[in-house]
A and B are shown apart, each in its own frame.
Chain A
Amino acid sequence: KNQVEQSPQSLIILEGKNCTLQCNYTVSPFSNLRWYKQDTGRGPVSLTIMTFSENTKSNGRYTATLDADTKQSSLHITASQLSDSASYICVVSARNNRLAFGKGNQVVVIP
């Protein structure tokens, strides 16, 4: 079983609308959680990192949350733009430095 599960697998949203992506993990002991954005044909790019003590962090229109007790994170996209169409990958780092990747949330923003 994958240590990092993301949902929904894919979604289509209208330009200007908001959406929330979910990441549940079982990685232990936990070090940090990072969200990456992967545009089609490109490598993933880091959006934000969440450490154990952080509950929420924003990067422009992206806001990540972390609940270390329930081992859940979310990535909220506000006022979506066409350029937000991408795969969003949740990556959890364990204290032994092993990285566990989710399969990604595929987001398609339509005009």
Chain B
Amino acid sequence: GAGVSQSPSNKVTEKGKDVELRCDPISGHTALYWYRQRLGQGLEFLIYFQGNSAPDKSGLPSDRFSAERTGESVSTLTIQRTQQEDSAVYLCASSLEGGKTTPLHFGNGTRLTVT
């Protein structure tokens, strides 16, 4: 069956431009997470969606970052006025029941390079 799909797989953008990253979770998964992974670093939590509840945005590093999710399907992460420090791999994960006892299923990420 299909796993978590992210697009694009790679994105190169100029400093100051806006970018939009897309995540298609596994069908039926109510929970969706976005993480950022800088080169050689661990995963940094950004935002968490669980069903129709208000998203947990506590990990978003600045107001340049925002994310939306349509129901229990596609999510988009938007970074406005990109900075070089935004260069990283952005990973999306989905799970049943918010990962309480079920694993997170990750996509392969979008590698963002800001020049």
Contact A93 B99 (CB under 8 A): yes
Contact residue range for chain B? 10 to 19
Contact A46 B100 (CB under 8 A): no
Contact B42 A89 (CB under 8 A): yes
A45 to B103 CA separation, bound complex (whole angstroms): 9
Contact residue among A31, A41, A46, A51 (Cβ-Cβ distance under 8 Å from B104): A46
Encode B33-58 as 1/0 by CB contact (under 8 A) with A. Answer: 10000000111010000000000000
A43 to B107 CA separation, bound complex (whole angstroms): 5
Q: Is A62 part of the binding interface, using a Cβ–Cβ cutoff of 8 Å? A: no
Contact A97 B98 (CB under 8 A): yes
Encode B87-104 as 1/0 by CB contact (under 8 A) with A. Answer: 000010100001111011
Contact residue range for chain A? 20 to 34
Q: Which residues of the other chain, B, contact A36 by a CB distance below 8 angstroms? A: 103-104
The secondary-structure label for the interface of chain A is strand
Q: Is A30 part of the binding interface, using a Cβ–Cβ cutoff of 8 Å? A: no
Stretch at the interface among A21-29, A63-71, A101-109: A101-109
Contact B43 A89 (CB under 8 A): yes
Point out residues on B near A: beta carbons under 8 Å: 4, 33, 41-43, 45, 91, 93, 98-101, 103-104, 106-109
Q: Could you show 14 A-B contacts with beta carbons less than 8 Å apart?
A: A31-B101, A32-B101, A42-B108, A43-B91, A43-B93, A43-B108, A44-B43, A44-B106, A45-B106, A97-B98, A97-B99, A101-B43, A103-B41, A103-B42
